[in-house]
Structure 1
Amino acid sequence: MALFSSVNESLIVALEFPNPSRSYDASRHCVCFWGYDNSREITFQVDDAMLRNLQPDAGSDERSILGAFDQFREKLLEIARKRYVSGPQNRYSLS
């Protein structure tokens, strides 16, 4: 007779970033991008100061800020994944 153990599996939240879109919000001085937890859209905002810390020679115009975001995209997505917690919150600020 074979014995089978039951394993208690916990749900792992998988935050995905299938959409490479990002936009600069001049009024908030941040770059916005979006992740998805199943069908839930989660908004992330990275402020200009954080991007300039990552790339000190970045200008302050939209093109420069978006370029800094693009250069450090993978690092920023990693930070977003670590900050994200499944639940009712659907907006996160990275600074």
Structure 2
Amino acid sequence: MALNFPNPTRSYDTKHHCVRFWGYDGAFEVSFTVEQGVFDRISSSPTGDESGTLKVFDKYRDKILTAARRVYRGRQVGAYTLISADF
């Protein structure tokens, strides 16, 4: 099966300054993290805080999910981290 994202849930991790979201490959849940630097790269507006970062995530969701599909290697254990170079 292909990686898909039926659940729009995302959350801001204040300790690590990143956004977490999840995809699914069949019954397997796949965890993704987006580093703060990504938001500075894809948006011309500064993110500032949690609310601003989540707004940028939502605005560029399609671009982020496309990058997630590109870096996903299929059913490997562990989480995937999206970095600026992925964009």
Same fold (TM over 0.5): yes
Aligned sequence identity (%)? 41
Which residue number in structure 2 is paired with residue 80 of structure 1?
68
The one-letter amino acid paired with 1:72 is Y
- Other-structure match for 2:3: 15
- Paired residue type of 1:55: S
CA contact (8 A) 1:21 1:33 kept: yes
TM-score (norm 2): 0.89
CA contact (8 A) 2:11 2:20 kept: yes
Aligned pairs (5 A) from 1:36-47: 36-47=24-35
The DSSP-based 3-state class of the residue aligned with 1:31 is strand
Q: CA RMSD in A?
A: 1.1
Q: How does 1:1-80 map to 2 (within 5 A)?
A: 13-80=1-68
In structure 1, what residue type is equivalent to 2:30?
Answer: I
Match of 2:81 in 1: 93
Query: Counterpart of 1:81 in 2: which secondary structure?
Result: helix
- Equivalent residue pairs, number: 83
Structure number, greater radius of gyration: 1
Q: Structure 2: which 5+ runs fail to align?
A: none
More helix by share: 2
Q: 1:87 offset after TM fit, Å?
A: 3.1
Q: TM-score, normalised by structure 1?
A: 0.82
